[in-house]
Amino acid sequence: MINPVKVIVVGMGARAMIYAGEALSHPELFTIAGIVDINQERVLAAQQLFHVPDSHCFRTVEELTAVPKCFYPNAATIWISWPG
C-alpha cells in the first residue's frame, strides 16, 4: 500500500478549495497536511474542512519555512489571486 502524498496548500481561495477538496474524495492518494493564507477566515475554514492541526496552519510562507523540516510535506501547491 502506498502512503498518501502530504500536500501543503499556499493560498486557500475558492479555486484552491475546489482542488484541495479532492483530498476528501481520494484520501488514499493525498491529504492536506498544511495551509498557508494571509486571510485568517480562509485558514480556519480549510483547517476545519481538512482537519489540519493548528501547528500546520500559517499566515505567511516565512512562518511555514520556520518550522522544523520533519513537518515538510511531500508536495506543495500554490494558488494565489492576482490583484485587479
- Asked if the structure places residue 84 within a domain, the reply is no
- Asked if the structure places residue 60 within a domain, the reply is yes
- Asked if the structure places residue 83 within a domain, the reply is no
Residue 34 CB partners (closer than 8 Å, separation 6+): 8, 9, 52, 56, 57, 58, 64, 71, 73
3-state secondary structure of 6: strand
Handedness of CA 23, 29, 34, 35 (dihedral sign): negative
How does pLDDT run across 32-78, given as a tens digit for each residue?
Answer: 999 999 999 999 999 999 999 999 999 998 998 888 776 667 777 77
Place of cell 499556499: 10
Structurally, the chain folds into a number of domains equal to 1
Q: Which of 18, 21, 53 is nearest to 34 (CA)?
A: 53
Q: Which domain holds residue 18?
A: 5-78
pTM (predicted TM-score): 0.83
How does pLDDT run across 5-22, given as a tens digit for each residue?
Answer: 888 999 998 888 988 999
